[in-house]
Structure 1
Amino acid sequence: MRNKSLIIADDFTGSNDTGVQLRKKGFPIDVLLFPTNKKLSNSIVLDTESRLLSSKDAYQKVKKMTKSVVENNEFRFIYKKIDSTLRGNIATEIKAVADVTHPDKIVIAPAFPKIGRTTLNGRHYLNKVPLLETEIVNDPLTPIWTDNLIELLQNDFKDNIALHPASNFDDKKWSEYTIHVFDIQNDNDLIHLTNILKEFQEKILFVGSAGLAEYLFEKERLPTLSVVGSISEVSLEQMNFAESKGIYSVNVELNDLLNDSKIDKYSRIITNSLQQNGDTILTVTRKRSDYTKTIELFNSLGILDKKEISRIIRESLAKITTSAMSKTPIAGLFLTGGDTAIEIINECNSTGCQIISEIEPGIVQSTLLGGDFDGMKIITKAGAFGKKDSLYNSIQTLK
């Protein structure tokens, strides 16, 4: 699952207040109290319940639990959730996660401006008061000993720590250091930071409270795949309009419709288009005359029954579609032409669909039930239905 993320938190309430940031963005998210080495479908928060442990025990527990989860799962983001008032075994637990995941860089920003937690010159504040001058210093279970993030980290990470002022990302420091602490004064600073970090290709371990999580976990905008199996003038007009808006299209050559070995060829073409161009349309007809040529080609090969010709075309489109879907994630399917739609649904091994809403009169959004792509969003339309922008608008709805 390309959008799957892992959060490691040291207590249950922290697990929930960070996990909910993903849920608000539409990600399914589970909180696990016990680790598992099984393949996971959803993003997860791993609750290690290690805040009250000794530093040594916390390291061992966090390392063991993290290792069990990452062994058989790949994650888009790995996030070490820490307390926004710096309670707990912060540096030790960051090191435990890093020793398992081996990041290129570690980004640390515990600020949560919406509830008064900010960082300035590496020092952490609660409602504009340094933490060491607040009641947090007398916490009965986890009293803090410093409000300086550099001091907090030095025992475990030595001198490999850089401090970045708010809204002033230092490229030179980024290249020279592994550990990066960021001053954060407001939500705009968090937005600025996450926008920069998402552009980097390095493997980053993100460390923060629910504040950083709120802006880091944006749902990836996956491309859509539209399959136009109708030859109606309305469908062709809709396809042309979508192309005028920048939607890429792939046309299956007539001669390839009778060659099963060409399925892989077009599957690769569609996959590459989805990954490089984004939203993609798959079709066999660009204009009405293409249909006439198709009939003539099949007739020349002794295939005279139009129903048989239609079946061959449907099956080719369905096989190309599902093959591409198995290779790269998509946001959803737009299917026009009822026979084509049902062929693709059957090829997905689905048992049917669950209706969600009517996008326009006669244009319906559903999700697939069961099969290889359970829960996949689809929009279906009879060939002659809709306005010229209906295909384009449906693509935007799926995203």
Structure 2
Amino acid sequence: MLRLLMIADDFTGALDTGVQLAAHGIPTQVVVGQADLSACSSTVLVVDTETRHLPAAKAAKAVEELTRSAVENGVGCIYKKTDSALRGNIGAELAALLKASGARNLPFLPAFPQIGRTTKKGVHYIDGVPVNESPFGIDPFEPVRCAEVTKLIHLQTEIPAQNLRPGETAADKTGILVYDAATAADLETAGRQLFQNGTPPVLAGCAGFAAFLPELLGLSDGSVVEVPQLDPRLLVLCGSVNPITLRQMDTAEKAGFTRLRLTPRQKLEPGYWASADGKAALAEIEAMLAANPRCIIETNDAGGNQLTADYAAARGIDLDGLRVGISGSVGQMFGALFGSEHLGTLLLTGGDTLLQCMNSVGARELEPVCELESGIVLARFAYQGRTRYVITKSGGFGQEDLLVELADRIAKH
């Protein structure tokens, strides 16, 4: 029976939230796009609507339709998963959920203190810096312009929004209720207060608050899923432009990872990987994988991305075309390499990259297994009768030696 529906706006976010339930042995599915809720046999269903980059009205419509379906099918709780750095159509999607659900209010807990993302007096911080002054404020595709959460919400909706302290009651309030949380204990306090009179019909937040849902919903039996044996070879496929991820790759390269940067042509020329030059490049990549147990393939140019920007400008490719073109090309490359005997464990970073790579091998559904550490998700999917594993990660968090530590842990496990 479907007990919890989670609605995410990108693939990596869907996984890092769904895994909070799956890691406790709770049956959890993650799907992209449309979902038939009446036919779902899982306890938890996470739907990635792929609405982060859509116009606000289209994003709201997708959330509204899914919410109405959940209400019609008697789903007890709907959780709107938001980006922990507040990217995407936050106001439009929260408003759509609240309106379509018919609920009196929508508690929104945007903080993820476990990875340094906090909300204090209504302002959202990344490692102590207001989010609009952090690297997310200069994101080339989805820059966050405002750190005051209620103001950010009101950029897309007129529904009332107010700020609450962690233990403050929501019972007598209407609209979108934005909770402060500087620590995980704050999230737990807010959760216990919200659930003291039963399960709220709607909630919103990121993986930070989702970590408390197994207990709050009474779904956890205390069990913890163990990490399965993984291939010790590691390929990192990076489509993120976030400076945090760039530093992680620099550190990994210094520690002995072999690093390949795709050229502007490889990233943006339609059909490149099916061309003679593309096939020759694939052969070189296979040779690299065969000779090196730890590899990185990334979509960033050395010293910045001006080469790719100039290549795109000369061909009339706009910013959205750049994003879609690069992730699509990476997906095609991934599909061509996927059957290689030299391909070990995969780590994919960036939601667009993950989506296109999974599309290339016909995987529209992933099953989160466990977290390797906070925000780093191990998932599995079926491919030609076999179970394949993939590690997923959003671009903007983790310590600088994260990739090195993960590679060491996989090799020793």
TM-score (norm. length: structure 2): 0.49
**Deviation for aligned residue 1:61:** 2.2
Q: Deviations over 1:219-257 (max 9, x none)?
A: 52799xxxxxxxxxxxxxxxxxxxxxxxxxxxxxxxxxx
Q: Secondary structure of 2:107's partner?
A: strand
Q: Matched residues in 2 for 1:186 and 1:37: separation?
A: 34
Q: Matched residues in 2 for 1:93 and 1:151: separation?
A: 15
Q: Matched residues in 2 for 1:157 and 1:56: separation?
A: 11
Correspondent of 2:168 among 142, 167, 170: 170
**1:118 and 2:118 are equivalent in the alignment:** yes
Q: Matched residues in 2 for 1:21 and 1:131: separation?
A: 24
AA aligned opposite 1:77: C
Contact preservation (8 Å) 2:26, 2:220: no
Provide the residue aligned with 1:19 in structure 2. Answer: 18
Mapping for residues 256-267 of structure 1, pairs under 5 Å: none
Provide the residue aligned with 2:29 in structure 1. Answer: 30
Q: Matched residues in 2 for 1:183 and 1:222: separation?
A: 26
**Deviation for aligned residue 1:60:** 1.7
Provide the residue aligned with 1:181 in structure 2. Answer: 178
Structure 2: state its 5+ residue gaps: 222-413
* Higher radius of gyration, 1 or 2: 1
Aligned length: 218
Contact preservation (8 Å) 2:24, 2:214: yes
Provide the residue aligned with 1:87 in structure 2. Answer: 87
AA aligned opposite 1:96: A
**1:211 and 2:225 are equivalent in the alignment:** no
Q: Secondary structure of 1:189's partner?
A: helix
Q: Matched residues in 2 for 1:13 and 1:222: separation?
A: 23
Q: Deviations over 1:163-197 (max 9, x none)?
A: 112x4x334x6413332111100111111111111
Please list every run of at least 4 consecutive aligned residues from structure 1 whose deviation after the TM superposition is greater than 6 angstroms: none
**Deviation for aligned residue 1:59:** 1.3
Contact preservation (8 Å) 1:4, 1:77: yes
Mapping for residues 1-399 of structure 1, pairs under 5 Å: 1=1, 4-33=3-32, 34-42=34-42, 43-71=44-72, 73-158=73-158, 160-165=160-165, 167=166, 169-171=167-169, 174-201=171-198, 203-218=200-215, 220=218
AA aligned opposite 2:40: L
Alpha-carbon spacing, 1:153–1:7, altered in 2? closer, same or farther (3 Å): same
Q: Matched residues in 1 for 2:184 and 2:124: separation?
A: 15
AA aligned opposite 2:125: Y
Q: Deviations over 1:277-299 (max 9, x none)?
A: xxxxxxxxxxxxxxxxxxxxxxx
Q: Secondary structure of 1:124's partner?
A: strand
Alpha-carbon spacing, 1:198–1:25, altered in 2? closer, same or farther (3 Å): farther
Q: Matched residues in 2 for 1:202 and 1:24: separation?
A: 21
**Deviation for aligned residue 1:68:** 3.6
**Deviation for aligned residue 1:70:** 4.1
Contact preservation (8 Å) 1:59, 1:93: yes
Contact preservation (8 Å) 2:159, 2:176: no
Q: Secondary structure of 1:13's partner?
A: helix
Q: Secondary structure of 1:38's partner?
A: helix
Q: Which structure has more RCO (C-alpha within 8 Å, separation ≥ 6)?
A: 2
Identity score, percent: 35
**Deviation for aligned residue 1:22:** 0.7
Q: Matched residues in 2 for 1:50 and 1:112: separation?
A: 21
Alpha-carbon spacing, 1:151–1:222, altered in 2? closer, same or farther (3 Å): closer
Q: Matched residues in 1 for 2:36 and 2:28: separation?
A: 15
**Deviation for aligned residue 1:50:** 0.4
User: What RMSD, in angstroms, separates the aligned Cα atoms of the two structures?
Assistant: 2.3
**Deviation for aligned residue 1:128:** 0.6
AA aligned opposite 1:8: I
TM-score (norm. length: structure 1): 0.51
Contact preservation (8 Å) 2:67, 2:78: no
AA aligned opposite 1:188: A
Q: Matched residues in 1 for 2:193 and 2:112: separation?
A: 18
Q: Matched residues in 2 for 1:175 and 1:135: separation?
A: 37
Structure 1: state its 5+ residue gaps: 224-399
